[in-house]
Amino acid sequence: MSKLKYRRIMLKLSGESLAGEKGFGINPETVTAICKEIADVADMGLELVLVIGGGNIFRGISSSAKGMERATADYMGMLATILNAMAVQDALEKMGKPTRVLSAIETTELCEPYIRRKGLSHLEKSRIVICAGGTGNPYFTTDTAAALRAMELRCEAIIKATRVDGIYDKDPEKHSDAVRFNRITYKETLDKELKVMDATAITLARENKMPIIVCNILGGNIKKVICGENIGTIVEG
């Protein structure tokens, strides 16, 4: 265990990462592939908190732009994150990993309500804690929920697992000459408006000196990060 750089981390996955090729909904094969990566790091003794977005099912801001009241649309987005959390829980438990879903929106037939001390206790018992329902408040995002829960549950870093392998000066999926940063400060990401996490999440992380590591979700990258390999981009300082 001593070779691990971190003992407890927050892993933030976007809802879209569960969608596969279609870019919408939940693709069981994709969920299995991602959960395999998560199970591998759990096997190394890492304590894990997951926050999964809901954008593959419902994004509040897009629906409010089409006329729905923002708060209503956001609550629907939060419900979408519970669906994703249940899909991930199911896949992880099929791999023999004990998990608990703790939700900021009470759905007690489905999962436990989010209680910080419960979360800490589950982590101490080596259960993977999946925080669902975002922050429980409209006008926020699951990036912010990830930063908030990372602090509350005493994580040492946030890993933001994405489709790309770090933070670039421009969109690497559109520009072949995009350059990846190895390290960048919170301030630079805010000033340059780089798409890392939203500004509220970055500000929270900055105020609490919580490093954010952006890396590709697949290919054993999460494992590499926790072993201290210099991959992806680290946001700190």
Residue 163 has φ and ψ, to the nearest 5°, of -80, -25
Please give the radius of gyration of the chain, using alpha carbons only, rounded to the nearest integer: 17
Among 6, 9, 11, 15, binds ligand UDP (CB under 6 A): 15
Encoded amino acid at 168, one letter: Y
Q: Is 138 in the site for ligand UDP (CB under 6 A)?
A: yes
Planar angle of CA 183, 187, 193, nearest 5 degrees: 90
Number of residues that bind ligand UDP (CB under 6 A): 25
Site string (20-49) toward ligand UDP, x via CB under 6 A: ------------------------------
8 Å CB contact between 102 and 149: no
Q: Which span (8-16, 95-103, 153-161, 209-217) binds ligand UDP, by CB under 6 A?
A: 8-16
Q: Determine whether the annotation assigns residue 90 to a binding site.
A: no
103 assigned ligand-binding residue: no
Backbone angles phi, psi at 153, to 5 degrees: -95, 15
Please enumerate in sequence order all residues whose Cβ is within 8 A of that of 196, keeping only pairs 6 or more positions apart, or say none: 160, 167, 189, 202, 212, 214, 235
Of 61, 65, 115, 179, which one interacts with ligand UDP (CB under 6 A)? 61
162 binds ligand UDP (CB under 6 A): no
Task: Establish whether 171 is an annotated binding residue.
Answer: yes
Question: Backbone dihedral region of 138: left (phi > 0), alpha (psi from -120 to 50 degrees) or beta?
Answer: beta
Q: Which stretch binds ligand UDP (CB under 6 A): 21-29, 59-67, 112-120, 204-212?
A: 59-67
Which is nearest to 76 in space by CA: 87, 66, 67, 63? 63
Under the binding rule (CB under 6 A), the answer on residue 99 touching ligand UDP is no
55 binds ligand UDP (CB under 6 A): yes
Least distance CB 22 / ligand UDP (angstroms): 15
Angle between helices 199-207 and 142-152 (to 10 degrees): 20
Q: Does 85 bind ligand UDP (CB under 6 A)?
A: no
Q: Specify the DSSP element, H or E, that contains 12.
A: strand 8-13
Q: Is 212 in the site for ligand UDP (CB under 6 A)?
A: no
Residues forming the annotated binding site?
12-15, 54-55, 59, 74, 135-142, 162, 168, 171
Residues that bind ligand UDP (CB under 6 A): 14-16, 53-55, 59-61, 73-74, 77-78, 80-81, 134-135, 137-138, 140-145
